[in-house]
Structure 1
């Protein structure tokens, strides 16, 4: 499917480095407004900006190499073969043809793939890669093909930001697509296994790994867990093809988003079968959809899927779309323009399917599962959080990792041991107080989290006093005793009220153990 000649790919890598084909360089060339326009699927500002940029070191008549590559591979415009040869001198036109990057038509070349720079920050520092995928709607000027291999999209960025980066021996990337999650996983794993049902996707993923010098990923063809039958992993990550698509003739079945099952059955299967492929203490992280229907309410359905798996679970629902909005989103995602007969035909098919199965809405969110090292599961948390992410979504992996550590720490303590512990207020937490005009006492007290999920919790005077005294010096029990005396309330009743709330503030990240 794709040429994996290490010599040619090595030449391409050196050419891309020499051309400074990077996110930073492209932003310099076409500017922030054009970058924002591209995010809205509008390329004219970027084309205009690049047409004015030449390489000053080589003379006014020589295009900037990064600009040439962007026009060809990102914006999807034909390019004179001579300009591409100048931008990729070591690869050359013959090498680009052999690698399957372009096709030639006389004196011009046209891109066959999307090739673009990608940059990121993770617990191991700043990184950058080049990612090959199929040409998008902007370059094609038409709807996507059903075998389309998606590049780094919004869901990809969400999952990579959620990924826990703790060093492990093995990671499974289930449904790897262009390979972006497997590449991220290679930063913290000794070995990675990447699977996909699409041989085209695996070819691109293998190409991307080679292009970026990553040699710790093994690629296997097959559906879901079939290629890893009988194997267990320390970490599973998956952006599965979870989009709910009508099983109706004439509705496109895009491999990158449609797993071929009815409704949300694919996500249910991934959740249930993860237990068989995790090592003790192993964690699975995935994105998914779940239906609101006569068969069950959103998170209640997910809870039913988890029953009997023996897994710890934290499920965060981020959005709920009604059936109409959900259909519109995914029809448009495939490149079908709104207000066209084809769009209306597909819209009818989606709504017919939802009505037949009595689905009125669809939820989207994050699923984190863990196989306990021993004993029964200790964590079952399913919640809806639709507010803005605290700092940014790309930093949630560290928040999730700390959540697991703190959950385990407090779960191992009985109430007496929790009272004997010392706590700290997390550095991103602020307190807000609201007063009626002229009032001495606040009417509303709340804590706000600047990082993590950006939670806000209402508190009362007793809990506010406890949190305010958590400086790592006084034990929780001593603080509660002092507050009871100050407020002239029953110590035992206050203790019974505050300790569960302290546990909740610990696991949600408002408080942290002084010893961790």
Structure 2
């Protein structure tokens, strides 16, 4: 049982981890990149082999707290001078008996970086499948995974007063939000998850995080927030006997009803101008596309909302079922795997589900109550890199500014091409003119956009010197086309390029 974390012991443990150089980079150097990658796939023996017989503090803590392997109590006492084996047991992170310390939780270092700087956290969570040697218990508290890192990177890096993290789990989103939000309320239905959230806040010296137990918005009824973030338990799970209902991923509702409930309820808890960001699954049912169903949820919200929804992936029912059965620690070929897959397929079949989408939702309560943003798109390419939160914030700023500009005002604006944009031209052998001109984005969502010579020329000429209208007139003369017609064609596309980050307004202009 994870105990109520003692602040003094958490400070001691943090100091010991710091003295040991317990960082993600140091561990990766110690056991090698390939072994580090294998840990994410549930394989810990390559990392253990990489450490060999080393008994320095980094190696001992790597085995104990990252790989979940028992260590000699004497080695732990030497590695954690202030905390020792006794301190770990009093924090509920380990047990000690017969000169051996057995981990009861993992504490893994996690690096982070955004445009405001970089650093690392130590994140405690429950033992994973590799450490347990089998399926997870239903009250398992998940550590930092790919989805949680994605959402952390999507969070807007702009200041706000009050934040809300729904379904906090180990607290990674609350930690990330606290970097830009003055006070964060973290909620979860699981008392164990909230204990990990408190522990991780103390371990990383982060104040201003308040925890409350309850489902969805129940713990914050009647309250408003400037920022809401959630990696909710959105995984679609059959509501039948003998199918494990893991608290960290299963919200106890049918199909995608949990995401629908979040969308329908979040507007009442957003202050004017407040933004909610979450991950979610949505079903394509009875020939109604998943994104269209999401649009319906948002349009029926009792509080009008701006919306930007990005679908990143679609899976057929079988692939989805296999993914989440394996995630729970039941592997192909083991008892129960086929039975669990069949339960998922029966559940999908009963609702006429043919696909399941996964993606990101950004919802905003307009300051004046009138939505102006309604964007639903599919972007299946890999993410371009860090800084997506800043990219989203810049897109919202561009959208709001464009809403104040008619075409004449836009034509009078001076623009810059973003520094991460490159152009590719493809020619047939021996041809002077390209058959394809493509603009590519190195950051943001890594978009690639086919353009015609007129738009390519305009983007290339946006160097912060002349207004857009003057550039279009010059291009029209060069191409020997009507300047008015070219303006009518290019200005709407310039608006899209400003929103998606290919172009930017000149600072201060």
Scaled by the length of structure 1, the TM-score of the pair is 0.96
C-alpha contact 1:2 1:204 (8 A) present in aligned 2: no
2:147 is aligned with 1:155? yes
- Secondary structure in 2 aligned to 1:341? coil
Q: Distance in 2 between matches of 1:4 and 1:52?
A: 32
Q: Deviations over 1:245-299 (max 9, x none)?
A: 0111110000000000000010011112111111111111100000011172110
2:194 is aligned with 1:193? no
Among candidates 310, 327, 334, match of residue 333 of structure 1: 327
- Cα deviation, residue 14, structure 1: 1.6
- Secondary structure in 2 aligned to 1:329? helix
- Secondary structure in 1 aligned to 2:192? helix
Q: Distance in 1 between matches of 2:369 and 2:484?
A: 32
**Equivalent residue for 2:197?**
205
**Equivalent residue for 2:251?**
259
Q: Distance in 2 between matches of 1:485 and 1:122?
A: 44
Q: Distance in 1 between matches of 2:57 and 2:4?
A: 23
Among candidates 123, 126, 143, match of residue 131 of structure 1: 123
Among candidates 379, 383, 387, match of residue 377 of structure 2: 383
Match runs of 1:176-187 below 5 Å: 176-187=168-179
- Secondary structure in 1 aligned to 2:336? helix
- Cα deviation, residue 435, structure 1: 0.9
**More deviation, 328-337/78-87:** 78-87
Q: Distance in 2 between matches of 1:515 and 1:79?
A: 56
C-alpha contact 1:2 1:207 (8 A) present in aligned 2: no
> Is the alpha carbon distance of 1:461 and 1:173 closer, same or farther for their aligned partners in structure 2, counting shifts above 3 Å?
same
Q: Distance in 1 between matches of 2:184 and 2:335?
A: 45
Q: Distance in 1 between matches of 2:58 and 2:53?
A: 13
How many residue pairs end up in the alignment?
505
Q: Distance in 2 between matches of 1:463 and 1:3?
A: 60
Among candidates 325, 337, 344, match of residue 338 of structure 2: 344
Among candidates 271, 281, 303, match of residue 279 of structure 1: 271
Unaligned runs of 5+ in 1: 54-62
Q: Deviations over 1:62-96 (max 9, x none)?
A: x1112111111222222111111111121122222
Q: Distance in 2 between matches of 1:443 and 1:168?
A: 48
- Secondary structure in 2 aligned to 1:104? strand
- Cα deviation, residue 513, structure 1: 0.9
**Equivalent residue for 2:45?**
44
Match runs of 1:59-458 below 5 Å: 63-294=55-286, 296-309=288-301, 310-390=304-384, 392=385, 394-458=386-450
- Cα deviation, residue 375, structure 1: 4.1
C-alpha contact 1:176 1:195 (8 A) present in aligned 2: yes
Among candidates 479, 482, 496, match of residue 490 of structure 1: 482
**More deviation, 219-228/124-133:** 124-133
**Equivalent residue for 1:500?**
492
Q: Distance in 2 between matches of 1:462 and 1:33?
A: 47
Q: Distance in 2 between matches of 1:324 and 1:90?
A: 50
**Equivalent residue for 1:14?**
15
Q: What RMSD in Å do the two structures reach over aligned CA positions?
A: 1.2
Q: Distance in 2 between matches of 1:135 and 1:492?
A: 65
**More deviation, 86-95/329-338:** 86-95
Q: Distance in 1 between matches of 2:50 and 2:462?
A: 55
- Cα deviation, residue 214, structure 1: 1.1
**More deviation, 201-210/460-469:** 460-469
Q: Deviations over 1:382-408 (max 9, x none)?
A: 000011222x1x320111010001111
> Is the alpha carbon distance of 1:486 and 1:196 closer, same or farther for their aligned partners in structure 2, counting shifts above 3 Å?
same
Unaligned runs of 5+ in 2: none
Q: Distance in 2 between matches of 1:3 and 1:29?
A: 33
C-alpha contact 1:3 1:98 (8 A) present in aligned 2: no
C-alpha contact 1:447 1:456 (8 A) present in aligned 2: yes
**Equivalent residue for 1:30?**
31
- Cα deviation, residue 44, structure 1: 1.5
Q: Deviations over 1:405-450 (max 9, x none)?
A: 1111112101111111111111111111111111111111111111
Q: Distance in 2 between matches of 1:303 and 1:202?
A: 32
